[in-house]
Amino acid sequence: MRRLIDHQIVTVDLDDRGRFDCIVGLARSPVATLIPLAELTADLQDGLTPGGLGFLTFDHRGSPIALRGVARAVHGGEAVEFVVTDGVEITERRRAPRLAIRMSLRATPVAQRGTPDAPVQTETENVSLAGALIADHPDLGDGPWRIELALAGGGHPLRCVGAIARRADGRLAIRFTEIAEADLVRLGGVLADRARTAV
């Protein structure tokens, strides 16, 4: 597993917005707090408020690494939080790729024929940008599901399609698919806020 460590020099490359170099202030899974090495341009500031998709690139033992995720400015642009989407292990105490967050989640099985099945209301045990872990339920079936996730702070729920990642010990891991970029950015902000308050 590739690891990002504190005080490492990295580059953030925002989709269609440009790139900038940072030093890692604090790396904790799945969020890294980055300090820009130069003042961010107005275009970059716009792209980082409330957040944008991009890549975090750095060298690991002489090999270039690129991580996909959501970046957003905090503290008036003095820092940037980067939430990793691809499950890379970032050095921190818990060494867990997901954050323990309870959110209301509604999963409606997508019927193979006829009308869709009734929705199942449940709650997440932990969440990442890639998916969530929930308690298994017999009415869920094997998916896929139309997912509605109530994000902290209100507003309309995040909507996507969910597919089964694994099922074991009474729990169901759902992988998010067909998720809009705006919803991915919103979820990244919730995870970054949670990681910050957990420190």
Residue range 128-153, pLDDT digits in tens? 888 999 988 888 888 899 999 998 77
pLDDT-based confidence at 10, cuts 50/70/90?
very high
| φ, ψ of residue 142 in degrees (nearest 5) | -105, 10
Domain membership of residue 94 (yes or no) is no
pLDDT-based confidence at 95, cuts 50/70/90?
very low
Domain membership of residue 1 (yes or no) is no
Domain membership of residue 96 (yes or no) is no
pLDDT-based confidence at 94, cuts 50/70/90?
very low
pLDDT-based confidence at 36, cuts 50/70/90?
very high
| φ, ψ of residue 152 in degrees (nearest 5) | -60, 145
Provide the domain limits for residue 58: 9-84
Distance CA 93, CA 28 (A): 8
Residue 182: partners with Cβ closer than 8 Å, 6 or more residues away:
none
Residues 193 and 114 in one domain: yes
What is the rounded radius of gyration, in angstroms, for the C-alpha atoms of the chain? 18
Domain membership of residue 152 (yes or no) is yes
Domain membership of residue 129 (yes or no) is yes
Strand 120-127 relative to strand 104-109, pairing: antiparallel
Task: Report the predicted TM-score, pTM, of the whole model to 2 decimal places.
Answer: 0.68
